[in-house]
Chains A and B, each alone.
Chain A
Amino acid sequence: MKARVTVTLKNGILDPQGKAIEGALKSLGVNGIASVRQGKVFDIELAGADKAKAEEALKAAADKLLANTVIENYRVEVL
């Protein structure tokens, strides 16, 4: 079973990397981009086949390590 955990910065947290990327896109002439926020994606292979258990394990992984919930939100998807 495959899963994906997406970690993004919370609203209001300054993202200088996203800002720099936004500036670079503008200087490349890519039009129509209002703003960029950078995040992280974790593609995870799960050993079992139980979807509920998988979600539980992924939540634990995100809470304990993948995200720092002081500044980040996360979303768990079992694919």
Chain B
Amino acid sequence: MSWFGRLKEGLSRSAGALSQGLAGVFGSAAVDTATLQDLEELLISSDLGVQASARIAAKLGEKRWGPTVPPNEARTALAAAIAAILQPAERPLDVTTAKPFVVLMVGVNGTGKTTTIGKLASRLRGEGKSVLLVAGDTFRAAAIEQLKAWGERAGAPVLAREAGADAAGLAFDALTQAKTQGTDVVLIDTAGRLQNKANLMAELAKIVRVLKKVDPAAPHAVLLVLDATTGQNARAQVAAFKELVQVSGLVMAKLDGTARGGMLVALAEEFGLPIHFVGVGERVDDLQTFSARAFARALVGLES
């Protein structure tokens, strides 16, 4: 199946409600204030947030519509408006700009950091790159075992210490080892933490500081993993992690449920961070490179 098909499959459930709603909204009637209000509500139901929804609805309202609007035309216009917002965020992760290229995976608890690392490792291994996984989540019970299982699947070694060990020290050793061994990519897992816990966030900043002692350019990427089911708090998450550990890109996991991940649109507008990947399923190859157009079109229920 093409990757678009996979994304579409994942998103189709999410898109179902939205596109059904859209058919209801546009039907074949003229586009009027009530229609635009309905549209705004549909966007809100997809977690786009009140402000972004209002803006997009208003933008569609400015368009010159005929007396009757076929559903597909309205949908295409909506997809285009959303894609335009997302387009600047469509920047793939290039891991060849440094060696070893260090990726630090951060996020709140349960968003899917470890799983994303596992999938990303498989993907990079598939491209023939050598990968070192670092079990930096030394807090959550069995997080180390979980990453080891992923390492086995991906055929990547896992560097770990006992539970409760200092994650920053581990990261230091990992990068030192990767340098001497000439590893291509180092993927560092971290414990999940709520962004309003100052002490836990400080620990994360410490990992970054320690990495810089080995390589001043490291980490080359700090990826914030967001859960597609998360609502408006995603904004607070991005803001806090960006400020503290200079998040360089976003990954949205769990897009295969009924959640639509519409807040990516609001995030793209507000923060301008690249969105590197979306997770659309539980299989190893279900981590997809983000495409603004495909995401927008799948979101409103259009074929590619």
Q: Tell me if chain B binds chain A.
A: no
Residues of A at under 8 Å CB distance from B? none
Residues of B at under 8 Å CB distance from A? none
